[in-house]
Amino acid sequence: MEIVLKDGAWFVADSHYAHYNTALYDLLSSIDPDDFPPQLFLMGDIFDLLFGYAQNSIQPNRKMVDLLKQIARQCEVIYLEGNHDFGLKPLFGGDVRTVARSCQPVTALYGGGRIALHHGDLIQGAGYEVYTALIRNRYIDRILNLVDTASSGAVIRWLERYNRNKRPCYKIEGFEERIQSRLDILKRRYDFDIWIEGHFHQNIRFDYDGTSYFNLPAFACAKTYIVTRLVGDSVEFEEKTVTQKAQYGIKRRHTSSRNQ
């Protein structure tokens, strides 16, 4: 899948929205419709627990789902499914452009090159591939929904408690070296100048062997998102906070031929 990156596009990753974590809803619902960007990339794990084929996971998230559908009438919304939120096409219909894990990475074209976009949960080993195939199986999700209904919501409550007890904001030691090994594999599989992903919550970027890598800030941790600026044939990434709406943070320019 290829799309054209628009100037001023926003990237939001790993907000883990839930009734106990409404920060992203609070931000998006406070924005005037005329101030939305031309493009909004939701990079997965936007919800802490949303399975499109498990109805009992939908109702607690309905307010956020409806808001995203409303925003999609104002700007282009591309939603890359994560490992906490998947099977979303029936839920969002034609309003939000959802991209299943099997269809990632998405390629975003800009003046000077190609950006590969992925939630980030790939090359995680055979065990993870089996696990992620099982949790995305619509029949397993429907069985989960039936068991949850029969137990008066016990399954969803257990999953919520499990997620709430996780420690999402921490530094991964040796992360850059691990990513460099992944990039060696990814470069053989895909054509890109910049690789952008979420999932790991590290908010780190670096150049490696002629390409650039950017692990996006987790909104749940940093309360920040990324705004793109197209400058000639290059693209700049600016980190923007929810509390300083008029100010931009980190800047760095990339070009397809040479990273600066």
For residue 142, what pLDDT is reported?
Answer: 82
Give the pLDDT mean for 192-220. Answer: 97
Pick from 57-66, 134-143, 168-177: least confident: 134-143
CB 117 within 8 A of CB 41: yes
For residue 251, what pLDDT is reported?
Answer: 35
- Inform me whether the pLDDT recorded for 5 exceeds 80: yes
CB 101 within 8 A of CB 63: no
Element (H, E) at 164: helix 154-164
For residue 7, what pLDDT is reported?
Answer: 97
* 84 three-class SS: coil
* 23 three-class SS: helix
Considering the chain, what is the average pLDDT of its residues? 90
- Inform me whether the pLDDT recorded for 258 exceeds 50: no
Domains of the chain: 2-254 (3.60.21.10)
In this prediction, residue 242 has a pLDDT band, given cuts at 50, 70 and 90, of confident
The residue with greater pLDDT, 6 or 257, is 6
Burial annotation 75-86 (CB, 10 A radius, 16+ → b, else e) = bbbbbbbbbbbb
The pair of three-digit structure tokens given for residue 209, joined into one six-digit string? 């062997």
3-state helix, strand, coil in the chain (%, to 5): 35, 25, 40
- Inform me whether the pLDDT recorded for 246 exceeds 70: no
For residue 244, what pLDDT is reported?
Answer: 53
In this prediction, residue 143 has a pLDDT band, given cuts at 50, 70 and 90, of confident
- Inform me whether the pLDDT recorded for 74 exceeds 60: yes
The pair of three-digit structure tokens given for residue 211, joined into one six-digit string? 């390409």
- Inform me whether the pLDDT recorded for 137 exceeds 90: no
